[in-house]
Structure 1
Amino acid sequence: MKIWGAPRSPLFLRVFLLMLICVGVVQLMNVALLIAVQSPAARLSTVGEVADALVRGTDHTGMFDVERADNLESFKWNPRAERLGLAIATALRVDPERVQIHFPTPFLQREQVYNRAGIPTPIPPASVDAARTAVVTGDFVAALRNQDGSWTIVRSGGFEPWRWFVLLWLILSAGAVAPFAWTLARRLTKPIAAFAEAAERLGRDPRTAPIPIEGPAEIADAASAFNRMQSRLNRYVDDRATVVGAVAHDLRTPLMRLGLRLEGAPETLRTSCEGDIRDMEAMVAATLSYVRDTNAALERRPLDLRSLAETVIDDLSDRGAAVSLAPGDPVVIDGNSAALKAMLGNLVGNAVKYAGGAEVSIFEDVDHVRIEVEDEGPGMPPEDLDRVFEPFFRGERSRNRDTGGIGLGLASARAAARAHGGDLTLRNREPSGVAATASLPR
């Protein structure tokens, strides 16, 4: 149970204790292995057993591995090998030149080199029986050259029981340490995953709930810093939106005074200036709407995106626009109905305005939904495909508000998509036309 106000233990201390526990468990397993394992006995074979395997070319006891080879690698001289090779040759009643024996160098050890000049020549066993009773200790490789020049090779084979025991013990040790290792990895990665998820939520909704301040001291401090950063970002955006909105709102008063002062102006001048004033008032209204829509907290709830698109399409069709929606199943997402409807209205409206019609399609991916609005118009210059999302940028260069608009429609549409955690992009179609793709999370 967590006590309110109790100091949090640092993550460093928790990880350190877990590592100590892992090391302690491994050492306990090693001590137990030292106590439980039997002292390994040396592998013992007699010269007679080796000679029989060389003669038969097979071994039915399972003690040796027997094979035939056309060539045999050369071995460095060893007094022990020379002595036992002489015993094997005596047991087989063959020339010692036909017998070779070698003792492999143990792992991580250097092969010993002997000076033959200082060692006397060994004496052959007195009899065959004496030769057959000689003992071969440890691992070895014995070879007999056959009459056809090939070699019969006998190797001490098999995995000794004590080695199997140690291998099994190592596996059990790894199994005993695995839960602690998993816990350690979980402790290290869980905060990272939590911060990644929080960053994803913040990208989708800047007004999302802050991260709970819990866990080790380092994680709690990082969570507090993340929440402060989120709060500062929201204040910065709110302050900027407030200033822009206030400026746009206050412009209405001087515009109204200009209109009143023009009452006594000549007709031609008054008509021209009143048109400019109406344009400025429309821009002010559009700016206020843009600021309000892009900074308002969106209330989301499950909705059928296809039904929402049908509403927009039906409304434009009733006005005589050539728009269509590809048929399909209902697509349910969490979203704000008003914001998504305005986004679709902007995209389809632009297609109708500049290309005379639009085709709308909705596709479902694993974790996203794609809305594509395609037209068959003249397309756009490649350098404008991203710039058109900038506020007040108009692809129509005439600066005529009737043909180019205010320049906030696509900026508002992208803001709505990004407020839902998605995005909006444009691309040119082949051979002509523009496709707008809105990607929204499920």
Structure 2
Amino acid sequence: MSKGTTARSPLFLRIFLRMLACVGVVQLLNLGLLFAIQLPRAKLYTVGHVAQAMRHPDAPSAGFSVYLVADVHPQPWNPRIERTQLALATALGVAPERVVFRFPPGFLQREPTYDRSSVPRTPPLASRAAAQDVVIAGPFEASLRLPNGGWRTVSTREGVEPWRLLILAWLVLSAVAVAPFAWALAQRFARPIGAFAAAADRLGRDPRAPPIELDGPAEIAEAARAFNDMQARLNRYVDDRATMIAAVAHDMRTPLMRLGLRIEDAEPGIRAACEGDIREMQAMLSAVMAYVRETSRIGMRRTLDLRSLAETVVDEATDRGAKVTLAAGDPLVIEGDPIALKAMVANLVGNAVKYAGTAEVALRDGSEAVITVADRGPGIPSEDVERVFDPFFRGERSRNRDTGGMGLGLASARATARAHGGDIELENRPGGGLIAIVTLPR
């Protein structure tokens, strides 16, 4: 353990203890249910009650429903059905063939079948009074065939029994009791994952974003430390590369200056050509140093109105005599580096004015902030749409730095947009021209 690092319990142990506490609560509730619930008891009826409901269908006994059906399908024979049918037929004074009794099977239980030849036949009951005293346990359906061929059916009305309500309430209580443990467990899992997602998003928008706080279990703290180390290494790598390029560009000015001195005594034609090449190389080195300086500069990000920023760029271009317009709209507030974003918009507007003479700027709000800079110039070939963002690539083929530039403007603009978590794309406009689309996160 490193110096200054406090001891942290592992995430596995924390999750295990919470799950164990959750299981303990559930088991305590089940133990309470074991002592609180009463065993369910089957309801008892008599054949006399069923016969009474058959005779008076308009006023059945309590707990019975009487209705007519067109057909009845008997169950497979068994002794209980035969005994009950014979008792009901005796109580009603009808032939046993006119009575059908059905007992619903239990949950996930098949109806029993019997080989009747191996079971003694149920003897007839001694009297109607004895038949009426036969007890029926549990739910059933009893049907009597009427002279018109229909069937009058008496069935039990099974309401929700108290013990079922108690179990249902107990299950709801168990879910409510366990919910806080599940919530805490989900929070424990989701919080560090959300923190890493937010940190990765911040790193994509701003490489200089503050590191993640080393908080939570040992595994999370170790992962956060590794993430912070990775961010620091990335920043050092980028800084080292930028410093190296800037140093090379700066040091090359000295030999170029010596070359300029050595050609002073050369023939006029050769001296003029060499001086032109030297000036071009010096301009390229200056552009490289400016590009490195702009892309590696640590800008202060703050809340800003993107429309006001665009208005400033448009006004400055108009003051210089350029034909630049800005579409009307509402304020568009984002968080960013105002200096870098202003340079990006000015770069795009400058390109449109340079190659087309005019520029049309518009802003659009939505899930992302969108800036469009459109012109009616010659456009660019489709194969160069992505290549123009490469450093030192110039879509203008004359290689004249006065018309085509150094080829670093769009590379710098895209670097600024991507440093803010956005991007820049170019599209050829229908009817001619080019449109630059900048997307920035809200």
Q: Is the Cα–Cα contact under 8 Å of residues 205 and 421 in structure 1 kept in the other structure? A: yes
Check whether the contact 1:54–1:154 (CA below 8 A) recurs between aligned residues: yes
Deviations 1:25-81 (A, max 9, x none): 111110100100111111222223334445555676662455544343452222211
Which SS does the other structure have where 1:280 is aligned?
Answer: helix
The answer to which of 24-33 and 236-245 deviates more is: 236-245
Is residue 228 of structure 1 aligned with residue 234 of structure 2?
A: no
Matches within 5 A, 1:208-247: 208-247=209-248
Aligned to 2:136: 136
CA distance in 2, matches of 1:386, 1:239: 27
How do 1:36-435 residues align onto structure 2 when only pairs under 5 Å count? 36-54=36-54, 63-156=63-156, 157-366=158-367, 368-435=368-435
5+ residue gaps, structure 2: none
Q: Structure 1 83/239 Cα, relative in aligned 2: closer, same or farther at 3 Å?
A: same
Q: Is the 8 A contact 1:99 1:143 kept in 2?
A: yes
1:200-229 Cα deviation digits (max 9, x unpaired):
111111111111111111111111111111
Select between 130-139 and 36-45 the one with higher mean Cα deviation: 130-139
Output the TM-score relative to the length of structure 2: 0.93
CA contact (8 A) 2:76 2:112 kept: no
SS at match of 1:373: strand
More displaced stretch, 400-409 vs 224-233: 400-409
Structure 2 distance, partners of 1:202, 1:249, is 30
The 2-side partners of 1:375 and 1:58 are apart by: 89
Distance 1:260 1:377 in 2: 42
Distance 1:36 1:402, change over 3 A: same
Cα separation, 1, equivalents of 2:257 and 2:323? 39
Give, in whole Å, the separation in 2 of the partners of 1:67 and 1:347.
84
Residue type of the alignment partner of 1:144: L
Cα 1:292/1:146, change in 2 over 3 Å: farther
The offset of 1:145, in angstroms, is 3.4
SS in 1 for 2:211: coil
Deviation at 1:309, TM superposition (A): 1.0
Equivalent residues of 2:384, 2:395 under 8 A apart = yes
Give the ranges of 4+ consecutive aligned residues of structure 1 lying more than 6 Å apart after TM superposition.
none
| 1:370 partner amino acid | V
More displaced stretch, 79-88 vs 104-113 = 104-113
1:64-112 deviation digits (Å, cap 9, x = unpaired): 4555443434522222112112222223333322322222222233443
Residues 144 and 152 in structure 2, CA contact (< 8 A), matched pair in contact too = yes
| Residue in 2 that maps onto 1:14 | 14
Structure 2 CA distance for partners of 1:418 and 1:58, relative to 1, 3 Å: farther
Give 1:244 deviation, angstroms.
Answer: 1.4
Give the number of equivalent residue pairs.
438
Change (3 A) 1:278 1:148: farther
Q: In structure 2, do the counterparts of structure 1 residues 26 and 399 end up closer, same or farther at CA, with 3 Å as the change threshold?
A: same
CA contact (8 A) 1:64 1:158 kept: no
Q: Distance in 1 between matches of 2:92 and 2:431?
A: 90
Which deviations, in whole Å up to 9, do the C-alpha atoms of 1:127-154 show, x marking residues without a partner?
Answer: 3332232221123233333444344444
8 Å contact from structure 1 (residues 63, 158) kept in 2: no
What SS does the aligned partner of 1:257 have? helix
Classify the secondary structure of the residue corresponding to 2:361. strand
The superposition leaves residues 308-330 of structure 1 with CA deviations (integer Å, 9 ceiling, x where unpaired) of 11111111112222210012233
State whether residues 59 and 65 of structure 1, in contact with CA within 8 Å, keep that contact through their aligned partners in structure 2.
no
Could you state the TM-score of these two structures normalised by the residue count of structure 1?
Answer: 0.93
CA spacing shift, 1:118–1:416, aligned 2, 3 Å: same
- Equivalent residue for 1:438? 438
Give the stretch that moved more between structures: 242-251 or 173-182: 242-251
Contact 2:60 2:66 in 1 (8 A): no
